[in-house]
Structure 1
Amino acid sequence: MKKLILASGSPRRKQLLEQAQLEFSISTSSVDESFNQTETPDQVVEQLAKRKARDVFLRHEDCIIIGADTIVSINGEILGKPNNEEEAKEMLCLLSGKNHEVYTGVAIISDEKTVSFHERTIVSFLPLEESDIESYIGSGEPFDKAGSYGIQGLGALFVNKIDGCYFNVVGLPLARTVRELKNFQHLIRHRE
């Protein structure tokens, strides 16, 4: 049986795979996460997920690797993780009172095959007051999250509704990922 490796240091992705009761380890990728601004959000997340998974696969060719990447898109503009407070504030102001899309790309790689896909969830934000934004930025939560918010944390207070997979917004479309892993079923070691 092959080991399953998550090519991500995200505590949220780790928690989701644990929730699915999969036995896995973690090996983070160090790839450049820049992308071509002319590509569509679904293309960007799938390419970045593949890039991350391949990077880890080169170090663990006898394993099955899961790579993932999440971005937020509004009006065709792709929002990644903010670099500072000013960028976080700009992103949250942009999302305030509007719908946006969250895309997560997933790539599963073994020496036998590669599967990649993406999920899209529409998230509707309530109108945010400047004090809401300032307080949220002060919490430190926005800085390692696409679009400057985490739906599983204090960012949940900004969300009016979602259309699609909640776990996709957290960072890994869990049901779809586990279904795709069934294609590798004979290779994966499960918890006893």
Structure 2
Amino acid sequence: MRQIILASASPRRKELLRQLIGDNFKVVESSYHEKSQTKMKPLEFVIHNSREKAKEIASMIRHGIVIGADTVVLCDEEILGKPHTENKAREMLRQINGEKVHVITGLTVIDIDGNLQTSTSETTSVKIKQMSDAEIEAYVKTKEPIDKAGAFAIQGKGAIIVEEIDGDYFNVVGLPLFKLNKILHELGIDVMEIV
């Protein structure tokens, strides 16, 4: 099988890719630092970031397929990043409290051997339940919201603040598996044959 490289240090993306293709890939963390939101629209922004991450890793190797991804949470047209402190997480959770947010992932796959690059995006709507101050505080104290886009992790305790979801669940975790599989299939990789 061809070498597949995930250009991300995200443990969630690693776990999702493992679900799709087993341990048949390497992780090489991209050193590309996402710029703060420029004048780009959110879709352009995440695709740009995913492309830059993938291109950086692709420039270092000779063969294989590189996967880059970038996920943001959009609330009232504002991109919410990853809070690095409890105070920022608390503030962000108050902002999304009772709101419908949109989780957008930019996905880029580079086939080095075929000199092909595919970039796409996936958007999933997530309705956050109305939380009391005590519920926000309890969730912040778990430390789970730290370093998570939008200050919640749907695959963890954050599942209890998600009232409903419209779209790809895996996209909310960080890697839209349906779209990724479609791209891999176009490149001749059948995930059903990978063990």
Pick the TM interval, shorter chain.
over 0.9
Structure 2 CA distance for partners of 1:187 and 1:102, relative to 1, 3 Å: closer
**Structure 1 position 3 matched with structure 2 position 3:** yes
Question: Do structure 1's residue 145 and structure 2's residue 123 form an aligned pair?
Answer: no
Is residue 38 of structure 2 the alignment partner of residue 34 of structure 1? Answer: no
Give the AA of the match of 1:57. Answer: A
* Cα separation, 1, equivalents of 2:80 and 2:12: 19
Report if aligned partners of 1:35, 1:44 keep a CA contact under 8 Å in 2.
Answer: no
Q: Tell me how far 1:187 sits from its aligned partner.
A: 10
Output the CA distance in 1 between the equivalents of 2:125 and 2:189. 35
- What is the CA deviation profile of residues 63-90 of structure 1, one whole-angstrom value per residue up to 9, with x for unaligned ones? 2100001000011100011121111111
Contact 1:81-1:147 within 8 A present in 2 as well: yes
**Structure with bigger RCO (C-alpha 8 Å, 6+ apart):** 1
Query: Contact 2:103 / 2:123 at 8 angstroms: preserved in 1?
Result: yes
Query: 1:113 is matched by which residue type in structure 2?
Result: L
Q: Please point out which of 138, 146, 157 is paired with 1:135.
A: 138
- SS of match in other structure, 2:146: helix
TM-score normalised by structure 2 residue count: 0.92
Deviation at 1:25, TM superposition (A): 0.9
Q: Which residue of 2 aligns with 1:60?
A: 61
Do the aligned partners of residues 81 and 186 (structure 1) sit closer, same or farther apart at CA in structure 2, a change above 3 Å counting? Answer: closer
Matches within 5 A, 1:178-189: 178-185=181-188
- Residue 170 of structure 1 and its aligned partner are, at CA, apart by 0.5
1:142 aligns to what SS in structure 2? coil
Where structure 1 has 5 or more consecutive residues not aligned to the other structure, the ranges are: none
User: 1:163, 1:173 → 2: CA distance?
Assistant: 13
In structure 2, the residue matched to 1:15 is 15
Alignment correspondent of 2:157: 154
Structure 2 CA distance for partners of 1:186 and 1:131, relative to 1, 3 Å:
closer
Quote the RMSD (CA, aligned, Å). 1.7
Per the normalisation by structure 1, the TM-score is 0.94
What's the CA shift for 1:36? 3.5
Identity of aligned residues (%): 40
Q: Hey, what does 2:80 align to over in structure 1? A: 79
Matched, 1:88 2:89: yes
Q: CA deviation at 1:152?
A: 0.3
Q: SS state of the match for residue 127, structure 1?
A: coil
CA distance in 2, matches of 1:149, 1:34: 22
Structure 2: which 5+ residue stretches go unaligned?
none
Partner of 1:20, secondary structure, is helix
Q: How many residues align?
A: 191
1:70 matched residue in structure 2:
71
CA distance in structure 2 between the aligned counterparts of 1:26 and 1:115, rounded to whole angstroms? 19
Alignment partners' CA distance in 2, 1:20 and 1:131: 38
User: Are the counterparts in 1 of residues 86 and 143 from structure 2 also a CA contact under 8 Å?
Assistant: no
